[in-house]
Amino acid sequence: LVLYHWTQSFSSQKVRLAIAEKALKCEERDVNLPLSEHNEPWFMRLNSSGEVPVLIHGENVICEATQIIDYLEATFVDEGVPRLMPEEGSMYYPRVQHYRELLDSLPMDAYTHGCILHPELTVDSMIPAYATSRIRSQISNTESELKKLAEENPDLQDAYIAKQKRLKSKLLDHDNIKYLKKILDELEKVLDQVETELQRRNEETPEDGNQPWLCGDFFSLADVSLAVTLHRLKFLGLARRNWGNGKRPNLEAYYERVLKRKAFSRVLGHVNNILISAVLPTAFRVAKKRAPRVLGTTLLVSMLAGVGYLAFMCLQKRFTNMMLSIRTRQKYF
């Protein structure tokens, strides 16, 4: 198994968590989105949509997170490999399938880009303030880049033009604050369903005290989708709105439990480390790709200094958020 992915890609995170939960051996290869490596011709020839993740298994090339996860479930059925999807005849199958489809239908790209472009809708976001202006310029640069790549690669011209159109359409939607408010309200309705389902599980908790997961006493594909979704919402600054201050307590307790799960911790880590875990690989990739040999050391030191500054900014933001949180709590006591 070879997985082309980007660490902070939401779809990639779902696939990587599924692989970790199934304890499969897999070689991971970063496709750096901030450096537009997903737009490079070699990757577009692998996946004409130019999106991660992509899984290679022998001669099979599988694109799109849901298809990859389904492939893993159907292919690796040996005894000892955990199943994340119950058998079709099982009473649990329709429940897992329902919540998986419900959670996977959420427009996570729109939440992510929308919260970056409109930080006023978030609370305790982990996204730095400079990201708002940065994403606007990056989208503009990407459009120009795709146009140039289409001219330079006639065999991929249709793929690049299609991607350029999708990018323009997404920008119009994701920068529309009315649309963003609408989908955030719809998100709450989905989380209400999840909260109710988690309450049912709590009422079914056996006498031994072992708490079940979303659909039963096993960690399923529905949990993969829910766990990664909650982690992204936390990063975006949407946690307090959706499960803070006693709102949806079952959801809050679930998230705290999933953070302690070994596979989740290994794949996604702590939410406070998301930004720095994206910055470091990007900095080293830039140094490796672009630094001339003669000036390599000097440029690398400069890059690392920049990374150090960003790390400091991340820590400063984390400390500021913690102090604001403490002050907020003090108002209630």
User: What kind and span of H or E run contains 136?
Assistant: helix 131-152
* Overall average pLDDT of the 198-216 stretch: 85
pLDDT reading at 177 higher than 80: yes
pTM of the predicted protein model: 0.84
* Overall average pLDDT of the 232-261 stretch: 97
Query: For the segment 84-109, what is each residue's pLDDT rounded down to a tens digit?
Result: 999 999 999 999 999 999 999 999 99
- Rounded Cα–Cα distance for residues 184 and 132 (Å): 19
Residue ranges per structural domain of the chain: 85-288, 294-330
Query: For the segment 6-64, what is each residue's pLDDT rounded down to a tens digit?
Result: 999 999 999 999 999 999 999 999 999 989 999 999 999 999 999 999 999 999 999 99
Note every long-range contact of 65-72, with CB atoms under 8 Å and residues 24 or more positions apart, other chains counting.
65/11, 65/12, 65/14, 65/15, 66/104, 68/15, 69/14, 69/15, 69/18, 69/221, 69/224, 72/18, 72/19, 72/22, 72/24
Q: What is the pLDDT confidence band of residue 277, given thresholds at 50, 70 and 90?
A: low
Query: For the segment 216-237, what is each residue's pLDDT rounded down to a tens digit?
Result: 999 999 999 999 999 999 999 9
Q: What is the pLDDT confidence band of residue 135, given thresholds at 50, 70 and 90?
A: confident
Q: What is the pLDDT confidence band of residue 282, given thresholds at 50, 70 and 90?
A: low
pLDDT reading at 265 higher than 90: yes
Amino acid at 325: S
The arrangement of strands across the sheet holding 27-30 comes to 27-30, 2-5, 54-57, 60-63
81: left (phi over 0), alpha (psi -120 to 50) or beta: beta
Query: For the segment 144-158, what is each residue's pLDDT rounded down to a tens digit?
Result: 899 999 999 999 999
CA distances from 254 to 73, 226, 300 (A): 24, 10, 42
What pLDDT score was predicted for residue 131?
A: 79
